[in-house]
Amino acid sequence: MANEVLTTTITGLVEDISAEVIFQLNATAGILDCVTHRDTAGQPGNTLDFPKYSAHTSSDVATVAEGTDVSTNVAVTNTDIAAKVADKVIMATVSDAAVREQRGSVLVDDISTIFLDAIKAKLEDDIVTLFTAFTQTVAGAATSMTLQHWYDSIRQVRAGSGMGQLCAVLSPKQYYGAKGLQPLLFAANLPASPLAEDMQRKGFIANPFGMKALVSNEIDEDVGSGGDAAGAIFSKSAIGLHTKGLFSIEIERDASLRSFQLVAVGLWKAVELQDAHGVYFLSDVA
């Protein structure tokens, strides 16, 4: 029967679609490299506790003479920050006609792209929403981005003991706009020359100040209706992301509609771990 053939065809594509989306997500979701990511797929429970340890400075390190017992005991404490995964769901209805017209390979590409874009956007949205919680800030409402704001962000993160690679996540206007990073680094600071043009063409702007700079369409570019964008600069230890496999697909037949419902479910939770390891970068982009 025709429906049985279609059922077999679409069911056989589910694993292909899932694998394709996971591959593309891992290849394109650069923001995952900027956070502390832990995956607990296959493990019981929905909650992961990220440990937050007490900070220690040079004053905690004692100078002790040879043969002398250390008399001062420095306590190392930690606070658990719970990250309980929640369901993130997207559904697509695929008609029998679409299966007949597009065939398998095209269907995999189309649905993979749809799910990838939606899941990546939601994952980014959950992470960038945390930026406003950072206590440390630079620039501010109605304030244009400057080089000093970047250096001040680095200073604040390092002063807060945020170590390792830093990452900047900006809105499109903060990156490409007239008041953004591109003109700040090139138009205003480099004279017109073959070298400057070569630097722009080869994309050296992708690693300003020695850090990765990413663009997220999920960042609000009109905070408080003031035309300001809400980016951030932070170290990997500032934000934690708990996932459980990140993504799964289920299929259900709707016979009367002559279609299939593909339901994709993502499981994750993003939390702030170290407030002092991030800086809220609010700047004017209007």
CATH of the domain at 262: 3.90.1690.10
**Any domain includes 61:** no
Any idea which of 20-24, 87-91, 178-182, 187-191 has the lowest mean pLDDT? 187-191
Among 23-32, 227-236, 246-255, the range of highest mean pLDDT: 227-236
| Residue whose structure tokens are 């930026």 | 131
**Any domain includes 251:** yes
**Any domain includes 57:** no
**Any domain includes 240:** yes
The per-residue pLDDT for 219 is 96
Count of domains observed in the chain: 1
Give residue 195's domain range: 2-52+77-284
> Nearest Cα to 255, choosing from 95, 90, 17, 91?
95
| Paired residues of 83 in beta bridges | 48
Mean pLDDT of the chain: 84
The per-residue pLDDT for 31 is 87
Band the pLDDT of 2: cuts 50, 70, 90. Answer: very low
**Any domain includes 64:** no
**Any domain includes 62:** no
Mean pLDDT of 186-201: 58
pLDDT at 189 over 70: no
pLDDT at 24 over 70: no
**Any domain includes 71:** no
The per-residue pLDDT for 102 is 65
Residues 6 or more apart whose CB falls under 8 angstroms from that of 63 comprise none
Residues 6 or more apart whose CB falls under 8 angstroms from that of 83 comprise 47, 48, 49, 50, 240, 241, 242, 269, 270, 271
Q: What single-letter DSSP state applies at residue 46?
A: S
Tokens representing 215? 């663009």
Mean pLDDT of 142-159: 96
**Any domain includes 59:** no
Residue 204 has a CB neighbour count (10 Å cut-off) of: 12
Residue 233 backbone dihedrals phi, psi, to 5 degrees? -125, 130
DSSP 192-256: SSHHHHHHHHTTGGGSGGGSEEEE-TTS-SSGGGSSEEEEEEEEGGGEEEEESSS-EEEEEEETT
pLDDT at 211 over 70: yes
Report the predicted TM-score, pTM, of the whole model to 2 decimal places: 0.81
